[in-house]
Amino acid sequence: MAPRRRTARKELDPCMRARICELHTSARWAYKRIHKAHPEIPISTIRNTIKKEHQRVNQRSLPRSGQPSKLSSEQKENHVQLTKENPHIKFYELQENRWICDKKGFNGHRDWQRVIWSDESTVERGKGGQLIWTWNDPSEQLVEHDVREIRTGKSIKKMFWAAFQYNIRTSLVPLTSDGSSRGGGITATVIRQTYMDQLPELLENGDIFMQDNAPVHTAHIIRDLLQEMQVEVMIWPPYSPDLNPIENLWAIMKTIIRQDHPELENAPDNDTTLCALIQAGIEAWESIGERVLQNLSDSMPHRVQAVLNADGWYTKY
């Protein structure tokens, strides 16, 4: 027999909470007597209401602790509807439906030239660059150098942050761990400092700031900072790199690094190579023409339409 579903009880309103606390404090009624007068309220609820009276303001519930809900009320209703229509639906199918709906609904920003696109990317020595497409026979591919060696294993790498708008970009910022992460990764504290250094000179009234849903971006200290700076943040659908044009800039930058600095391919993994990799990244980023930024910004209507045509699934971007 299938287990009985547990229905969520409706929260007591402030007036009823005040009534329960008054009966207990002023009339000195015990829990059982209050429950007898109000049998519709479980005795456990009466007990918790009285115990938590001093924690509330005007008998209203405090904000729940912990991470904010990842689902909006509309998404929750959609999930409930889907489970009613198909009680055997898998959890991953609910998640799939969520990001597809989010991507399909990503069309609220019409003036794409006012959007500032931001992201982080890691550049690794000897990796990156565009694929070579060839019609040569396999025997000719080696002669024409259409076949590339693929590096395996770990090598020197560096994470960068940058942002761009229609006709402006930030500098390429090398990110360094602040030591608070056990794995030596980039924390929200590092991103916060980067935003404080870069955004004030970049943002103007009417601009919209885009960042993805990485944990370092959704941390409280990042949300609080952006609110203090009065930055309008774009609501970003999950799993949507094809909607972020800065991903194309990263690919272009890595191709330039590989073409202009072939010496990095076989360089030793040391501090000198790391410095050279950082400098190569900065030079490559600055060499990208302004027309490329404009074309990527202008591509947004086509990206959104491609998502709609693909019914929310992956696109060529």
Q: Please identify which residue in the block is written with the tokens 């547990």.
A: 6
Name the DSSP letter for residue 181. S
Query: What is the per-residue pLDDT for 187?
Result: 92
Q: Which two tokens stand for residue 4?
A: 């009985």
Query: What is the per-residue pLDDT for 59?
Result: 74
Domain assignment present for residue 65? The answer is no
Query: What is the per-residue pLDDT for 195?
Result: 95
Yes or no: say if 191 and 160 are a contact pair by the CB < 8 Å rule.
no
DSSP per residue, 141-170: HHHTT-------S---EEEEEEEE-SS-BP
Q: Which pLDDT tens digit goes with each residue over 191-206?
A: 999 999 999 888 888 8
Q: Which residues of the chain have pLDDT under 70?
A: 1-10, 61-75, 78-79, 82, 85, 88-110, 127-134, 139, 141-153, 310-314, 317
Domain assignment present for residue 1? The answer is no
State whether 92 and 158 are in the same domain: no
Query: What is the per-residue pLDDT for 3?
Result: 47
Domain assignment present for residue 8? The answer is no
Domain assignment present for residue 263? The answer is yes
State whether 209 and 305 are in the same domain: yes
- Which residues lie closer than 8 Å to 85 by C-beta, 6 or more apart? none
State whether 250 and 222 are in the same domain: yes
Ramachandran sector of residue 230 (left: φ over 0; alpha: ψ -120 to 50; beta: rest): left
State whether 126 and 170 are in the same domain: yes
State whether 227 and 275 are in the same domain: yes
State whether 209 and 300 are in the same domain: yes
Domain assignment present for residue 245? The answer is yes
Yes or no: say if 279 and 271 are a contact pair by the CB < 8 Å rule.
no
Name the DSSP letter for residue 154. -
Name the DSSP letter for residue 210. E
Distance separating alpha carbons of residues 11 and 314, to the nearest angstrom: 42
State whether 89 and 123 are in the same domain: no
The domain of 95 spans 73-104
Please tell me whether the overall predicted TM-score, pTM, comes out greater than 0.85 for this model: no
Query: What is the per-residue pLDDT for 307?
Result: 76
Give which of 242, 148, 162 is closest to 195, Cα–Cα. 162
Query: What is the per-residue pLDDT for 184?
Result: 75
Yes or no: say if 127 and 257 are a contact pair by the CB < 8 Å rule.
no
Domain count, the chain: 3
Distance separating alpha carbons of residues 193 and 173, to the nearest angstrom: 11
State whether 99 and 169 are in the same domain: no
State whether 126 and 260 are in the same domain: yes
Number of residues in the chain: 317
Neighbours of 212 (CB within 10 A): 20
CATH number, position 121: 3.30.420.10
Distance separating alpha carbons of residues 282 and 56, to the nearest angstrom: 53
Yes or no: say if 42 and 71 are a contact pair by the CB < 8 Å rule.
no
Query: What is the per-residue pLDDT for 70?
Result: 62
Give which of 248, 228, 244, 225 is closest to 236, Cα–Cα. 244
Domain assignment present for residue 20? The answer is yes
- Which residues lie closer than 8 Å to 253 by C-beta, 6 or more apart? 121, 123, 172, 281, 284, 285, 288
Distance separating alpha carbons of residues 61 and 279, to the nearest angstrom: 54
State whether 147 and 294 are in the same domain: yes
State whether 83 and 150 are in the same domain: no
Q: Which two tokens stand for residue 70?
A: 């990842």
Query: What is the per-residue pLDDT for 280?
Result: 94
Q: Which pLDDT tens digit goes with each residue over 231-280?
A: 999 888 877 888 889 999 999 999 999 889 988 888 888 999 999 999 99
State whether 283 and 304 are in the same domain: yes
- Which residues lie closer than 8 Å to 307 by C-beta, 6 or more apart? 103, 104, 106, 242, 243, 315
Query: What is the per-residue pLDDT for 262?
Result: 87
Yes or no: say if 175 and 216 are a contact pair by the CB < 8 Å rule.
no
